Each structure stands twice: as structure tokens, then as C-alpha cells.
Chains A and B, each alone.
Chain A
Amino acid sequence: MARSILERIALGEKQAVQDCLDTYGNLIWALARKLSPNPADAEDAVQEIFIDLWKHAARFDAQQASETTFVAMIARRRLIDRIRKVRRNPEADPLPENLAEPPHRHDQQLEIKADAARAAHAMHVLRPEQQQVLKLAIFQGFSHQEIAESTGLSLGTVKTHIRRGLVKIREVLGVRSLDSAAKETTSL
């Protein structure tokens, strides 16, 4: 069976780095743009995310999630960390810049879209208020406190919606099935 890109990176295969850029470059760039205040900040984030990916490549477990999801998780982890730093030090200034564009890879987009379609479907199993809170947390990058302020829900309710929503979606997506997770979701 062919090794995944991250497995090849973990083995130190140089070509795998190029393949990783070709396959996940757009995805990481899109996430960085989505969760960064400006393009310059997004560029710094992309550099850090790729280094994180190389460091953590050996931790990828195909039994637990698809490679695309694992890459998105590493990227989000770094981006959330950067958002937290900005929130602690809101003086950070944007340094915008124009950038050139290399060619597309449609096969990669198809893979990502397949994962995305499953995730979008999974979202529909949640109650509307859970969907709203999760969307604000995940798609808009709001902190739980910010969600509470914008929706008028208590912080505790926001946290409960997020916790139960994620556990439920995890079950639907089959990231890993757990009896304990099922127990949690029975109270939804």
C-alpha cells in the first residue's frame, strides 16, 4: 500500500515536502486567510503551519482521520494559538502585500470537497442553536465569550452547545466510535 504524504515526510523523503505543498497548499492558505487579520499575518502563519506539519507528520494516524482533516487540525491549532496571542496583545499591525499565483490542482480540491461535504451533512444533525454556536466558533473564529455576547446566551450554554455539538458530529463523522461519546450524545 502506498504511503501517505505525511508518512513520507516523517521518513524524511524530500519529494514529499513538494507533494505536501501541492496537495495542501491551497487548504492551508485558505485556512490562514480565513483566520488571520491580513495577508501578511496569513503568510507568517502558513510558514509556521508547514513547520508544525513536518514536526508532527509521524503522529498522523489514518485510522483516526483522513490526512486532509489531520492537516486542517494542525493548521487550526497554530491559527488558534496566533489568535490567542493577538487577543492578549491587540497592538499587532497589519502589513498587507500583493502576491502572485501559481497553478491550481483540481484533484486535491475534489478530495477536500469530499471531506467538506461529509462535514456539512453532519452539521445538519444538530439543533439550530447548536449549529449557530458551532458555526460562530469554527467558521468565524469567535471566542466562547464573544459568542455569548453576540447571541445573548450564557457562557455556560455556549460551552455546552459547543461540547455536545462537537461530540455529536464526531460520532456522525465516525472519527472514532466510542461508547462514552454515545453516552454524552444521548442527552442531546
Chain B
Amino acid sequence: MTSPDYERLLTLLADRATQGLDEPEGIELKELLMKHPEWNESDLELTAAALCLAELDVSEPLPASLRTSVLATANRYFDPVAAGSPQVGQPAKVVAFPASRHLVSQAGWYVAAASLVLAAFLAWPRPTPVTPPTPSLADLRSQLLQQPDLLKTNWSATETPEARQINGDIVWSPGKQSGYMRFRGLPANNPTVSVYQLWIFDVNQDEKYPIDGGVFSVTREGDEVIIPITAKLFVSKPTLFALTVEKPGGVVVSKRDKLILVAKPPTT
């Protein structure tokens, strides 16, 4: 037999291990753990961690630049005095400066002089800062085309009738984890009724659960549109891109009822 609060304890431990807890849940968990000292706060977190190792590919090394950066952080953390900065996570100590009577008597003059300098600085004519123009999506796409690892492939229409008039392409750089879709003839949609959603099938991802590549809408029919890809997870090696029509806001997993375009990247 298990009591309701025991069930609740296990639920909170499992929630913590898989999706985290908010503050009230965290407090509730601590209270329940006091009633059940046989359980440890991290028991199910350790189990989830052990499980996640089962499907983890650890063949890719930590990037050298990141390793250097972590070591620099370690130096500051473990030896803050030598590194000349406060320890990470700890506030810098504020040391009171002993003001002499002489300094106090001169302080008024210093303040007055500083005020004059500040006033002169503020009155001095300064050139208006020039804001560099924001590159267009077409510019950004052109820049991405220079990437040596670029994958580029044309969209292929599916059997869906409205897909027949659509063409365009998709580009993706695995190194940059960035890409763009280009369409001509993609029908405009009413975003309160439906949206377009990109799916990225990846070599390391279960085919049932392709990576969400982002949701978008088309406001003007007929124009060429360029849409940036916003992959929600890291894409190792894309095997297929697919465009579906989904409910407003997009979905977590597509039923693929309305698959309109696909693009298969070239195999390398």
C-alpha cells in the first residue's frame, strides 16, 4: 500500500528528474522528503542520468576553444586572487577606503572640477552614430552559401494538389547549425487557422520524432519568400526535410496529415 503523499513524492522526484520543478513544487518536495527520509532528492535524477547515457554518442570531443575557456573559468574559480577577479558565484568584497581629513576637505573642489569636465563633454558636438544596415534574409542566405559544408537541395512536391505550383530550395550548414528555406508559389496562409512547419529528419533521431525546424506563415502569395530555419535541437546529419501544414502555433509531433514538400539532402 502506498499513501497519497508517497505517490506525490515519487511523482515530484520523477518530474524533477525529467522536466524540472518550479519553486512551489521544489518546496513541496523538500517537505515530503522530510517525511520519507528513505528517499534522496537525487535518487530518480541519478536513474534518469544513467538512462540517458544509453543513447548518448560521446565520440565528438569537447571543442578546444571551449576547453580553454572552461580552464580559464576554473582558474578564476579556484584561485581568484591570482586571477585578479572575484570567485565565480561570489560577490566581490567591498573594502572601505580610509578617507583622510585632507582628502575630505579637497573633495568639494574635485567634485566641482569633475562637474565642469562632464558639462564640457556633454556640450561637445559628437557625430551621430551610424547604425550598420541590418542584412536581409537574402543577404544572410548568400553568406551561408559560402560555407564549405553547405547542403543544398530543391524541394519536391508531394501528391497534395496545392503543392504542385511550389518550387524552391533549402540550404543547411551543419557547422553553423543554420539554414534557409526558399519558396516560390507557396500559398499564403491565415495564421489563425494554420501554419507551415518544417521537420528535420536526422540520422541520430528516431524517425517518429523528427526535429522541429520552426513554424512560419506566408502573407503574400506568389512572391519569393526566404524563411530561416530554427531547429529546436542539434542536427547531426539531416536525412530529409519535410514541410507540413499544422494548427496555429505548430505541433510537437506532426500527424503528417498534410505533408506538402520534401527535400532530401545529397548523401556525403
Contacts and interface: CB of A to CB of B under 8 A. Distances in A.
B53 A116 contact: yes
B63 A72 contact: no
Contact of A149 (B73, B178, B252): B252
Interface residues of B, number: 68
Given A136-B209, A180-B39, A27 B231 contact: no
B46 A100 contact: no
Nearest to A54: B77
Interface stretch (B54-62, B123-131, B156-164, B188-196): B54-62
Given A76-B48, A119-B53, A99 B19 contact: no
A38 B46 contact: no
Contacts of A5: none
B51 interface: yes
A37 B173 CA distance: 15
B108 interface: no
A170 B43 contact: yes
Nearest to A12: B78
Contact of B67 (A12, A21, A27, A36): A21
Interface in B1-38: 1-2, 6, 10-11, 13-15, 17-20, 36, 38
A101 B58 contact: no
Interface in A47-79: 47, 50-51, 54-55, 64-65, 68-70, 72-73, 75-77
A104 B57 CA distance: 13
Interface string B49-81: 111111111111111111101110110011100
Given A14-B78, A33-B234, A149-B251, A64 B53 contact: no
Nearest to B205: A140
A100 B65 contact: yes
A21 to B, nearest CB: 6
B177 interface: yes
A138 B177 contact: no
B209 A150 contact: yes
Contacts of B64: 99-102
Contacts of A141: 233
B44 A166 contact: yes
A149 B255 CA distance: 11
Q: 5 tightest CB-CB pairs across the interface, nearest first? A: A99-B63, A25-B62, A150-B253, A73-B49, A72-B49
Interface of A: 12, 14, 17-18, 21, 25-31, 33-39, 42-43, 46-47, 50-51, 54-55, 64-65, 68-70, 72-73, 75-77, 80-81, 83-84, 94, 96-104, 108-109, 112, 115-120, 122-123, 134-144, 146, 149-150, 159, 162-163, 166-167, 169-170, 173, 175-176, 178-180, 183-184
Interface of B: 1-2, 6, 10-11, 13-15, 17-20, 36, 38-40, 42-67, 69-71, 73-74, 77-79, 88-89, 173, 175-178, 205-206, 209, 230-234, 251-253
